[in-house]
Structure 1
Amino acid sequence: MTFLAIDVGNTRLKWALYEAPRHDARVLAQGAEFLDHIERLADDRWAGLPVPTRMLGCVVAGDAVKRRVQEQMDQIDGWNLNPQWVVPSQEEAGVVNGYDHPSRLGADRWVAMIGARHHVLRQGGPRPFIVVMVGTAVTVDAIDTDGKFLGGLILPGHGIMLRALESGTAGLHVPTGEVKPFPTNTSDALTSGGTYAIAGAVERMYQHLLNHCGMEPACIMAGGAGWKMMPSMTREFELVDNLIFEGLLVTARQRWERTD
C-alpha cells in the first residue's frame, strides 16, 4: 500500500511517497515545491511515480491552495485517490487537544505534536515534551506525559521580525548578520536579537512545562530554519527534519487500521 504524505506550509509544499503508512517505511520518492509552482507537479515531480494507494495531507495555506493540489492529483492517469486532509480534533493518535476551540489549532502544529509524541515514546516511554517549529512563523507547544497538549506560543520567524523592523524603523535596510554574544554592528544586532527572542520564548515554555510536570521535558525541533536555531538554544534539542511526515504516517496508520 503506497502512501503519499503532503505538507503544505506557508511558502512550500513538501511531499513524500512511502511504501506503506508506517514510521519505518521506505521512502520511494520525495520533493518540495514553492506554492507559486504547484501547477507543475502533475507534469514534472509527480509524473511517473508509483501510483499512491492512499494519501493524507496537512495544509495551513488555505482552501484555495488545497484545491490546486487536488487538481494536480486529478490530472494524473491512474491516481484514483480520495484526498484526505487532517483537521485538528479533540483527540487523535494518543494526543489530546487542549485548545479552547480544537478545530482552530493549526493543522501543522497538531500533526507535529502527534509525530513528536510517538517519536518520544519510541525512544523510551512517556515523558513531557515541547515541540518547536521554526519557519515563516515559530510555534512552541507543550505536551504533558499523558499526551495532552497544554498550550503553546506563536511568534514571528526571523524574516518577519526583520521585515517589521525595516518597515517601521528608518535606516535598518542592512544585510543579514551573525549571532554574537555582544553584537557590535547593526546586522549582527538584528540577527542576534531575533534569534535570542525565539530562544527566550522556548526557554520560558520549557520552564513552564518542567514546573507543571515535575519532570525534565524532551525537546524536539523541526521546520526549515530549525538548524539555524540549534546552536543558540539553552537546552539540548533533537532536530527532526520530517516531523510532520512522521505525524502523518502515524495518523494514517491508526485511521486505516480502524477501517480496514
Structure 2
Amino acid sequence: MNALLIDIGNQRIKLAVATSPRRVNPLPPLPSTIAAEELKAKTGRIVRRHKPGACVIASVVPPVTRRILATIRSQFPGKGVFVLNFASFAKLMKTAVKPRPEPGADRLADVLALKALCPLPACVIGAGTAITVNVVDKNGVFRGGAILPNTGLQLAALRQKTARLGVVRNLDARAHAIGTDTRSAVTAGVMRGAECAVEGLVRDMQAELKMPFKTIIVTGGHGERFAARLKARGLKAEYDAAFTLRGLAWFADAQQPR
C-alpha cells in the first residue's frame, strides 16, 4: 500500500503519505481556505514525488470536501479515491452509534485506528476545534462518545456573549485553579475546565463499561496538555499526533483488493 491521506478539519487540512498504519509520513498542513488552484498545485507535487496508488479523504467540512474531491479525482485517473464516511466505516467495524446525524469522519478514523492498533477496551481523545472522546469496547465495537467545545470555542462564546470577559484572549496553560484576577479566572475556567471535563468523561466512560481502558490515546493539535493531565491523574494516556492519519491508513489498506 502507498496512499495519500487527506484529513480535512475546520481550520487545517492534514496531509500524509502512508505505506501502513504504523508507517505514516505527515506532510506540511494546508489551510482549509486554500484556493482550488493552489491546492491542485500542491497535491500535484505530492503525487509526482511520492507516486501514491490511492487516496483516502476524511472531512468534517462538506463544502471543502467537494472542492478537494474534484481536484484529487483529476490527479488519480483510473486509481482509487476513497472517502471515509459512515457507510464505508460500517462495512469494516461494528458500531452502536446511530447514522443520523452522521458522526464526523475524524471520529471514525480515530476508532478504526484504536481497533486496528491498540489493546481494547480503549478510548481516543481528539483535541481539535472541538474535543471528541470516543470509545471502543473489548469486543471491538464503536460504542460512541462525547463532544465538547475546546478552549478556542469557549473563548469565542465569552467574546460574543459577554460585555467584559471577551477582552481575555491569551490564556496561560500553567494557570492555577484559583484565579486572582479576571484573566486568570477565565484561564482557570476555560483551560483547567476543559482538562477536568476530559478526565471526568474518561472516568465516567470506564464506569459505564464496568472496566478500565487498556489504551487511552490523545491526538490533535491541542492534545499534549490533555495527555499530560491524564497522566498526572494516574491514567495511562499516550499522545500521538498522527493517530487520525493512522486510522485513514488502515482504511486505505482495507480498500485494497485481496
- On whether the aligned pair clears a TM of 0.5, the verdict is yes
For residue 110 of structure 2, give the secondary structure of its aligned residue in structure 1: helix
- Aligned mate of 1:222, from 212, 219, 222: 219
Contact 2:217 2:240 in 1 (8 A): yes
Distance 1:209 1:174, change over 3 A: closer
Cα distance in 1, alignment partners of residues 126 and 24 from structure 2: 25
Are 2:31 and 1:34 aligned? Answer: yes
- Aligned mate of 1:174, from 161, 164, 168: 168
Cα distance in 2, alignment partners of residues 26 and 150 from structure 1: 27
| Range that drifts further, 106-115 or 190-199 | 190-199
Are 2:146 and 1:147 aligned? Answer: no
RMSD: 2.3
Contact 1:51 1:79 in 2 (8 A): no
- Displacement of 1:134: 0.8
For residue 86 of structure 2, give the secondary structure of its aligned residue in structure 1: coil
Cα distance in 1, alignment partners of residues 117 and 8 from structure 2: 22
- Displacement of 1:227: 1.8
| Runs (5+) with no aligned partner, structure 2 | none
Match of 1:124 in 2: none
Match of 2:179 in 1: 183
Deviations 1:237-260 (A, max 9, x none): 11111111111111221232xx34
Cα distance in 1, alignment partners of residues 98 and 22 from structure 2: 34
Q: Normalized per residue, which structure has more helix? A: 2
Distance 1:185 1:91, change over 3 A: same
- Aligned partner letter, 1:197: G
- Displacement of 1:165: 0.8
Match of 1:135 in 2: 128
Distance 1:222 1:104, change over 3 A: same
- Aligned partner letter, 1:106: G
- Displacement of 1:72: 2.9
Contact 2:58 2:106 in 1 (8 A): yes
Contact 2:5 2:248 in 1 (8 A): yes
Distance 1:198 1:114, change over 3 A: same
Match of 1:61 in 2: 61
- Displacement of 1:144: 1.1
Deviations 1:192-242 (A, max 9, x none): 212233223323332333223333212111111112333333333111111
| Runs (5+) with no aligned partner, structure 1 | 122-126
Contact 1:4 1:16 in 2 (8 A): yes
| Range that drifts further, 47-56 or 107-116 | 47-56
Distance 1:222 1:38, change over 3 A: farther
Spell out the pairing of 1:84-123 with structure 2 (5 A cutoff): 84-89=82-87, 91-93=90-92, 95-101=93-99, 104-121=102-119
TM-score, normalised by the number of residues in structure 2: 0.85
Cα distance in 2, alignment partners of residues 154 and 7 from structure 1: 19
Cα distance in 2, alignment partners of residues 31 and 181 from structure 1: 36
- Aligned partner letter, 2:147: I
Distance 1:158 1:14, change over 3 A: same
Match of 2:247 in 1: 247
| Range that drifts further, 41-50 or 220-229 | 41-50
Deviations 1:94-115 (A, max 9, x none): x322112367111110111111
Match of 2:237 in 1: 237
For residue 42 of structure 1, give the secondary structure of its aligned residue in structure 2: helix
Match of 1:157 in 2: 150
For residue 196 of structure 1, give the secondary structure of its aligned residue in structure 2: helix
- Displacement of 1:151: 2.1
Q: 4+ residue stretches of structure 1 with deviation over 4 A?
A: none
Cα distance in 1, alignment partners of residues 74 and 83 from structure 2: 19
Cα distance in 1, alignment partners of residues 59 and 154 from structure 2: 24
